[in-house]
């Protein structure tokens, strides 16, 4: 059985790859895992020995198919737990991440199956992240970051790519939650801000905040000039 540490490393590598890196640099992994670089070198070698990752010395790590399977299972547990905490235990979506970070390593396959069943086999967690099914399959969506909007338009918020409780509470206060319909009023590329309307509120977001809001546009719009590089959590 993979230890808690191994599961967290593998999940992290998966999320970094998901965010666009083919090969995750050791330094990035070190800061994401909050350990010193030498620790990553050691761990990556151990992970490679157990067949979960491959790596190019001085270049970075990449998951093997076995590693990806493990990552998907951990992510499945994490996201189902988050949704369970929100739906059944009435936690706020801003405070479930840390709890899930622990529980994801403690729940049995049987318990996760019960939770999945009780929740009606949901496809997405409270933050809009897709929940892999028991075989590891994940729904693919073509979302665009609000920061990539080039002109005004209308869309639905599908995902918030940040787990920080403070940001999530800020988003909640402004109605920026998955499912909410939003209208881009204007974009200021030089000032790096975007004006929008959500419900009956009108607000302005800066580029990095906007980058965390993933939207499904009602009509084709926006460009893919800047990559969706936010969202490295579960």
Q: What residue ranges bind its own copies (CB under 8 A)?
A: 85, 88-91, 98-99, 102-103, 105-108, 110-111, 114-115, 118
In the complex, what is the shortest distance from the CB of residue 95 to DNA, in angstroms, rounded to a whole number?
24
The only residue of 57, 120, 179, 220 in contact with DNA, by rule CB under 7 A: 57
Contact characters 94-133, DNA, x per CB under 7 A: ----------------------------------------
Q: What is the DSSP letter of 124?
A: B
Q: Which is nearer to Mn ion, 62 or 127 (CB)?
A: 127
Q: Does residue 37 interact with DNA by CB under 7 A? A: yes
Contact characters 209-228, DNA, x per CB under 7 A: --------------------
Judged by CB under 7 A, the stretch of 29-37, 65-73, 88-96, 105-113 that binds DNA is 29-37
Size of the site for DNA (CB under 7 A): 26
Q: Specify whether the CB–CB gap between 20 and 227 falls below 8 A.
A: yes
Which residues have a Cβ under 8 Å from the Cβ of 40 and sit 6 or more positions away? 26, 27, 29, 30, 33
Interacting residues toward Mn ion by CB under 5 A: 8, 82, 101, 125, 127, 129, 234
Q: Does residue 60 interact with DNA by CB under 7 A? A: yes
Which one, of 77, 182, 167, 181, lies nearest residue 125 by Cα?
77
Q: Specify whether the CB–CB gap between 160 and 128 falls below 8 A.
A: yes
Query: For residue 58, what are the CA distances in angstroms to 23, 38, 52?
Result: 11, 12, 18
Contact of residue 41 among its own copies, Mn ion, DNA, none (CB under 5-8 Å per partner type): DNA
Contact of residue 88 among DNA, its own copies, Mn ion, none (CB under 5-8 Å per partner type): its own copies
Q: Specify whether the CB–CB gap between 153 and 222 falls below 8 A.
A: yes
Determine the Cα–Cα distance for residues 161 and 148; give it in Å rounded to an integer: 14
Backbone φ and ψ of 167, nearest 5°: -65, -40
Contact of residue 85 among Mn ion, DNA, its own copies, none (CB under 5-8 Å per partner type): its own copies
Positive or negative: CA dihedral 50, 51, 52, 54: positive
């Amino acid at each position: 059985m993979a230890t808690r540490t191994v599961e967290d490393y593998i999940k992290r590598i998966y999320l970094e790859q998901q965010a666009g890196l083919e090969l995750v640099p050791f330094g990035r992994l070190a800061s994401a895992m909050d350990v010193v670089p030498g620790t990553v070198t050691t761990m990556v070698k151990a992970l490679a020995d157990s067949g979960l990752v491959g790596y190019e010395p001085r270049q970075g790590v990449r998951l093997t198919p076995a590693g990806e399977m493990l990552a998907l299972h951990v992510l499945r547990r994490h996201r189902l737990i988050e949704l369970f905490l929100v739906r059944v235990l009435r936690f706020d979506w801003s405070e479930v991440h840390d709890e899930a970070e622990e529980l994801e390593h403690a729940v049995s396959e049987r318990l996760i199956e019960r939770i999945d069943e009780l929740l009606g086999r949901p496809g997405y967690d409270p933050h809009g992240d897709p929940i892999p099914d028991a075989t590891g399959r994940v729904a693919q969506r073509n979302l665009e970051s609000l920061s990539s909007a080039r002109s005004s338009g209308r869309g639905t918020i599908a995902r918030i790519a940040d787990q920080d409780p403070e940001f999530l509470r800020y988003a909640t206060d402004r109605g920026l939650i998955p499912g909410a319909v939003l209208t881009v009023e204007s974009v200021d590329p030089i000032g790096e801000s975007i004006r929008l309307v959500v419900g009956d509120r009108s607000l302005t977001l800066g580029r990095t905040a906007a980058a965390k809001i993933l939207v499904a546009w009602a009509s084709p719009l926006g460009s893919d000039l800047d990559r969706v590089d936010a969202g490295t959590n579960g």
